[in-house]
Amino acid sequence: MTDTPAPTSGSPFDDIRALLSAMPGPDEAAVAAVRARDAELTKPAGSLGRLEWLAEWLGAWQAKPKPSVARPLVAVFAGAHGVTARGVSAFPDVVNRQMLENFAAGGAAINQICAAYGIGFKVFDLALDIPTKDFSAEPAMSEKDAVATMAFGMEAIAGGTDLLGIGEMGIGNTTSAAAIYSALYGGEPARWVGRGSGVDDEGLARKVRVIEEALALHGEALSDPLEVLRRLGGREICAMAGAILAARAERVPVVIDGYVASAAAAVLHALDPRALDHCVAGHLSAEGAHREALERMGKTPLLALNMRLGEGSGAAMAIGVIKAACACHTDMATFEQASVSRGEG
Ligand SMILES: Cc1cc2ncn([C@H]3O[C@H](COP(=O)(O)O)[C@@H](O)[C@H]3O)c2cc1C
Ligand SMILES: O=C(O)c1cccnc1
């Protein structure tokens, strides 16, 4: 008995790492079927550009030769941030709760976009009344809190969906996202920081200072992307990472929203560069250095509308495009069906 080694105490993050190592890959047979059908559709080859690629991408991750976008869903995760005590947002914390009421009443931008495109919409309240700790003074979350929050995010797909858009609400979360990019990608924090919901020059300088302090405080611990997430992230950022991972396991393609949602994606990408293969970047946000962050992840945004809202709004706009791409692929007539002459060559 005495020479049996004690079991090594597992980290709460072990389950997350296990999910990452078990990620399914693309279904190549479905991609081949999509390509074969695309060649029969009544249009010049390649003329639908990235829409053709989107149909292949849907097929690859849904593992369906005929992909579908019949039940698209935007999931918005809401969290409160202790770092707002440092004066990093133009708006007070109470806006979180007020916006959740606005979402429920149908009065937010995301409600209108989802209604316009026939997209389901769900909001997940991540302990809004218990803000994370100020990450410039201590880790934002314990390991247990971070893992439980990721697990909660995995519930996003529980009701069933064939295309998931990921969004967030959380006053102060552009500071958290900028801190995550700074930790993962390096360089001066000022390079990654933007004005979020609209801070003035002094607010912008405070955001930079807070991130510099946080990087110095957390130091070497930030070499592990999951530590970056729990130390600098908000709960909504943890939950978005969980949702992206769960969607992969269940073969649900994902549309990432803007600057903040992409920070959750960046953590997964840093853990495993294949972790975002089932994701598209919905749009290029006007916030901070979103373009550089997406480049690091190898993602070309579908849309560039100069939006910088969050709430999943850019993802929802992109889902409109993806729905149309899927409809073209599945419902267009073939040359034979429509008696349209094929070109030569
Ligand atoms: C009324 C209102 C609605 C929003 N909807 C999304 N955000 C966006 O702004 C917040 C992040 O910006 P910052 O880091 O500057 O606080 C997040 O809640 C984000 O979703 C909003 C912000 C406000 C004020
Ligand atoms: O692009 C975003 O995600 C964003 C930008 C500004 C404020 N909140 C979110």
The model's pLDDT over 131-186, given as tens digits with 9 standing for 90+, comes to 999 999 999 999 999 999 999 999 999 999 999 999 999 999 999 999 999 999 99
Predicted complex ipTM: 0.99
Closest ligand (CA of 173): 1
Considering the chain, what is the average pLDDT of its residues? 96
Amino acid at 5: P
Pocket test for ligand 2, best of 290, 309, 313 (most atoms within 8 A of CB): 309
How far, CA to CA in Å, does 245 sit from each of 61, 179, 242, 329?
Answer: 13, 22, 5, 27
Position in ligand 1 atom list of the atom nearest CA 173: 14
Q: Which of 2-16, 103-117, 297-311, 317-331 is predicted least confidently?
A: 2-16
Please indicate whether residue 155 is annotated as part of the active site: no
Q: Name the 3-class secondary structure at 93.
A: coil
Q: What is the DSSP string of 163-208?
A: EEEEEEE-TTHHHHHHHHHHHHH-S-HHHH---TTT--HHHHHHHH
Q: In the predicted model, what is the mean pLDDT of residues 212-217? A: 98
Sign, CA dihedral 244-248-251-254, equals: positive
For residue 1, what pLDDT is reported? 44
Q: Name the 3-class secondary structure at 55.
A: helix
d(CA 117, CA 51): 17
* pTM assigned to the model: 0.97
Considering the domain 71-332 in this protein, what is its CATH number?
3.40.50.10210
Place of tokens 């709760």: 97
d(CA 180, CA 238): 12
The one catalytic residue in 101, 212, 311, 344 is 311
Using the predicted structure, report yes or no on whether residue 304 has a pLDDT greater than 80. yes
Domains in the chain: boundaries: 71-332
d(CA 277, CA 253): 9
The model's pLDDT over 102-120, given as tens digits with 9 standing for 90+, comes to 999 999 999 999 999 999 9
